Each structure stands twice: as C-alpha cells, then as structure tokens.
Amino acid sequence: MGKGQEERTAIVTGAARRLGAAIAETLHRRGLNVLIHCRGSVRDAEERVAALNNERPGSAALAVADLGDDEAPGRIVSAALEAFGRVDVLVNNASGFYPTPLDRAGPADWDALVDSNQRGPFWLSLAAARAMADRPGRGTDHDRSGAIVNLVDIHGMVPLAGHAIYSQAKAGLIMQTRALAKDLAPRVRVNAVAPGSILWPEGEDSPTAEVAAQRLERVPLGRQGTPDDIAGAVAFLALDAPYVTGQVLAVDGGRTLSM
C-alpha cells in the first residue's frame, strides 16, 4: 500500500471559499486527506491547500475543473487517486446560483445552473463511486460504505421566487440523492444537506437590517445559520451515520416548518 493510502480521502467541490471551504476544513480536522476542487478561485484554493498541508504535510491537493466540462469528473477523481491513492467521501458542494426571471432566462442559464447543480454532480458521483469500490481496506467493520453528500437547498423542496431553473436543478439533485442511494447501495451511502439561509450570495446587495430581521422572524431557532452548522451536518452524514442513506437533512433553523 502506497504512502497515505491507509488514510481516508474526501473530494469537496467548490471548496476554495465559503461553505465548501468550511466543509473541507472540518473533514480535514477529522483526519481525512482532502482534494479541494475549484473552478475560477484558484488563488484562494491554493492558499487553502497550503494551509492544510502546513498543518499535516501531504494531506491536501487541488483540482481545477468546470463541472460543465464532460472531462471534469474523470479529472477530479484521477487527481484524488494520484495524490492519495483512494476516494472514500465525495461532497458535491459547487453550485451556480442566480435569478432567472422568466422573461429573460435562456438556454445558457439552464446549462450553467443545471451543469453545476445537477448534471456535474451526477457524473462525478458515478466516477467517485467507481473509485470507492476499489478502495484498499475499505472503511471500518462498522461502515464499509463510501459516502456521497450533496449540498441541496430548502428551495429544492419549495421554489424560490425568480429562481425557477436553480430551484428545479436542486429538486433534481434531491431525487438524484435518493435514486443513487438505491442504485449504489450497499457500496456507497448517498445523502444530502439542505441549508437554509447561511451566507448571502456574493455579488448581491446584502439585505437591509429590516429585511434581515423579517427573515429571522421566520426561523424558529432565531438566528442565521453558519458555515460550521453546515459542515457539521456534512461530516455527520459522511462519517458518523453508517446506517443512513437516501436522506435529506434540512439545516435551516426550522425554517421549513412554516414554508
């Protein structure tokens, strides 16, 4: 067995910044090697890889790919195998998010939002599942399955106004979670985390204090969620839930109780 092959490995897509970065750091703290994937945020991703390797030499590597590219899944999985020799966990976190008003949306918006939120995750999951099947000394006696965790959205269940393409892409990713959980069992568990409002989208004006307060009134737990709330749920499904598959865990402070 080559260097590091006894250590479990996670691939986290879109992990240069924001929620993906928190997920990669949490899995790394749990002792996994991490392959950080990014598309355009290469400098941020390189800094993150360097910081993780500083903590534990040889524990982080980088793959740059656009999930709209048919070659991307093979390239991402190959990069993980080259760096660490095995794949145990895949977190499909990368996502395009922007409004698509019906009078302005076009096929290019469909491609951009479906490629990153539904199509890319599907082919990457299949490529990762093949690598998981070949793992040396697979998992522990208790959890011999590989794990896929998809980042969906509470708006994959209840549509977000003005975001018809994004909402249906996430709805597709929810069904993908359930379908692959069935088809990849027992070798791979497939689950999803559905965040509520955690980080405001970049490039959009932050809500006014009044709008932010109105939003919080609809959240029973009375606060905005944090990246660590999401990362903890991902780590639970990936590492601590050996008898759970096909589930969608809303991490939304209870927001969906009254949607």
Ligand X SMILES: NC(=O)c1ccc[n+]([C@@H]2O[C@H](COP(=O)([O-])OP(=O)(O)OC[C@H]3O[C@@H](n4cnc5c(N)ncnc54)[C@H](OP(=O)(O)O)[C@@H]3O)[C@@H](O)[C@H]2O)c1
* Residue number, 18 or 28, with CB nearest to ligand X: 18
219 binds ligand X (CB under 6 A): no
Among 8, 10, 11, 20, binds ligand X (CB under 6 A): 20
Residues 124-183 that bind ligand X (CB under 6 A): 151, 153
Does position 197 interact with ligand X (CB under 6 A)? The reply is: yes
Q: In the range 220-249, which residues lie near ligand X by CB under 6 A?
A: none
Alpha-carbon dihedral of residues 214, 219, 222, 228, nearest 10 degrees?
-120
Stretch that binds ligand X, among 17-25, 126-134, 157-165, 242-250 (CB under 6 A): 17-25
The reply on whether position 195 binds ligand X by CB under 6 A is: yes
Question: Restricting to residues 69-108, which ones interact with ligand X according to CB under 6 A?
Answer: 93-97
Candidates 10, 11, 16, 91: give the one binding ligand X (CB under 6 A): 16
As measured in angstroms, the least distance from the Cβ of 18 to ligand X is 3
- Given 45, 52, 166, 173, which residue is catalytic? 166
In degrees and rounded to multiples of 5, residue 37 shows phi and psi of: -100, 145
35 burial via Cβ count (<10 Å: 0-12, 13-18, 19+): buried
> Catalytic residue numbers?
166
Residues that bind ligand X (CB under 6 A): 14, 16-20, 38-41, 66-68, 93-97, 115-116, 151, 153, 195, 197-199
